Structure 1
Amino acid sequence: MPKAAKFPFPIRKTASSRSVEARKSQPLFSKPAIHSDRLPDPGLTPPVLDPDAPQHLPSLIKYILQNTFDDVPDRSAGMGSERISEILRFRDGLPPIVSLAHVFALSQSATQTEREMARLVAAGTVRKIVIPGRGKSGGLVGEGLVLVDDWIARVKGAAGLTHETGEKYIALLHAKRGEFSTTTSSFTTDEVRELVTHGFLTSPTSLSSSSQPSSLLAPKSAASSLATAGSTFTTGTLAAIGGSNAITASGGSGSTLLASARPSNNISYNTMTFSLPNTGAYLKLQTTARAHLHFLLRQISPAHREASNDLLREKWNGNTIAPGDAAANAKKARGESSAVLPGRTKRWREFWGTRYEWVLAEAVGSGGVECFDTGAVGLGVRAR
Structure 2
Amino acid sequence: MSLRKILGGSSRVKKASKKSGANRCSPSSSSWPSSLPRRKPGIRSEKSSIGDEDGEDDLFDDQLDDYGLVKSLATDLNLRDTSQAVLHIRSHMFSPMPDRAAGMNSTRIAEVLNYRKSLPPIVTISHIQALLSSPSAVEREIAELARAGFIRKVIVPRRGDIGETVVLAADYEQMVKASMSLEEDTKSSLIKFLKENPGVQALKSDALHASGIDQLLKAGFLTSHNTGATHHGRSLHTTNSYSRPGDKVTLTSLDNISRQPTGTLDAVGGEGVVHKVGGSGAGSLGMSWLDTGAAELKLAVPGNGTFLKLLSLALDHLVSLLGKSRFREAPETVLRDRWDGGIAKDEARYAAKRSRGEFAGVLPGQTRKWRQFYGLSFDWVLQEAVGSGLVEVFETRSVGRGVRAL
After TM superposition, give the deviation of residue 54 of structure 1 in Å: 1.3
How far apart are residue 102 of structure 1 and its match?
Answer: 0.3
Whether contact under 8 Å (1:133, 1:140) holds in the other structure is no
CA distance in 2, matches of 1:8, 1:171: 98
* 1:149 aligned residue: 170
Tell me the distance in 1 between the aligned counterparts of 2:250 and 2:323: 33
The residue that corresponds to 2:61 in the other structure is: 36
What is aligned with 1:209?
Answer: 239
Amino acid at match of 1:209: T
Pair 1:165 & 2:165 matched = no
- Relative to structure 1, is the Cα distance of residues 157 and 378 closer, same or farther in structure 2, using a 3 angstrom cutoff? same
* Cα distance, 1:8–1:202 mapped onto 2, change above 3 Å: closer
Corresponding residue of 2:321: 296
Q: Distance in 2 between matches of 1:269 and 1:156?
A: 29
Q: Deviations over 1:250-292 (max 9, x none)?
A: 4356899x79x9xxxxx93453211111111100111011001
Q: Report the alpha carbon displacement of residue 179 of structure 1 after superposing the two structures with TM.
A: 2.6
The one-letter amino acid paired with 2:309 is K
Distance 2:353 2:359 in 1: 6
Change (3 A) 1:169 1:17: same
Structure 2 residues without counterparts, runs of 5 or longer:
1-16, 38-44, 48-54, 227-235, 261-265, 278-284, 286-291
8 Å contact kept, 1:181–1:271: yes
Aligned to 2:343: 320
Q: CA deviation at 1:195?
A: 1.4
Shift of the 284–208 alpha-carbon distance from structure 1 to 2, 3 Å rule, reads farther
Q: Tell me the alpha carbon deviations over residues 49-108 of structure 1, each in whole angstroms, 9 at most, x when there is no partner.
A: 113161221221111111101121232211111111111111111111100110111112
Query: Equivalents in 2 of 1:175, 1:115: separation in Å?
Result: 22
Equivalences for residues 56-135 of structure 1 within 5 A: 56-134=81-159
Unaligned runs of 5+ in 1: 1-5, 220-224, 230-238, 262-266
TM-score if structure 1 supplies the norm length?
Answer: 0.76
Q: Which amino acid aligns with 2:21?
A: P
| Pairs within 5 Å for 1:178-197 | 178-197=199-218
Determine the C-alpha separation between the residues in 1 that align with 2:69 and 2:36: 49
May I ask how many residue pairs the two structures share in their alignment? 340
2:198 paired residue number? 177
TM (normalized to structure 2)? 0.72
Q: Match of 1:264?
A: none
For residue 372 of structure 2, the aligned residue among 334, 350, 355 is 350
**2:399 aligns to what SS in structure 1?**
coil
Match of 1:10 in 2: 21
Query: Residue 346 and residue 116 in structure 1: after superposition, are their counterparts in 2 closer, same or farther (change >3 A)?
Result: same
Q: Deviations over 1:24-53 (max 9, x none)?
A: 9xxx999853222111113x3426311316
Query: Matches of 2:210 and 2:257 in 1, distance apart?
Result: 27
Contact preservation (8 Å) 1:61, 1:103: yes
Single out whichever of 181-190 and 346-355 deviates more from structure 2.
Answer: 181-190
Deviation, 1:196, is 1.6
Aligned equivalents of 1:175, 1:249: Cα separation in 2: 47
Residue 367 of structure 1 is matched in structure 2 by 389
Cα distance in 1 between the residues matched to 2:182 and 2:157: 24
Distance 2:69 2:212 in 1: 54
Distance in 2 between residues matched to 1:8 and 1:321, nearest whole Å: 49
In structure 2, what is the Cα distance between the partners aligned to 1:64 and 1:22? 52
Q: RMSD in angstroms over aligned alpha carbons?
A: 3.9
Q: Secondary structure at the match of 2:402?
A: strand
Change (3 A) 1:7 1:326: closer
SS of alignment partner, residue 110 of structure 2: helix
Q: Shift of residue 347 of structure 1?
A: 0.7
How far the C-alpha of 1:295 sits from its partner, in A, is: 0.7
Name whichever of 163-172 and 96-105 sits farther off.
163-172
Q: Provide the residue aligned with 2:256 in structure 1.
A: 247
Question: Whole-Å Cα distance in 2 between the matches of residues 164 and 209 of structure 1?
Answer: 28
- AA partner of residue 398 (structure 2): A
Q: Does the 8 A contact of 1:319 with 1:339 survive in 2?
A: no
Provide closer, same or farther for how the CA distance between residues 275 and 373 of structure 1 changes in structure 2, counting only shifts above 3 A.
same
Higher mean C-alpha displacement, 29-38 vs 360-369? 29-38
User: Residue 8 of structure 2 corresponds to which residue in structure 1?
Assistant: none
| Rg larger in structure | 2
Structure 2 contact 353–360 (Cα < 8 Å) conserved: no
- Once residues 203 and 252 of structure 2 are traced to their aligned partners in structure 1, the CA distance between those partners, rounded to angstroms, is 21
Partner in structure 2 of residue 198 of structure 1: 219
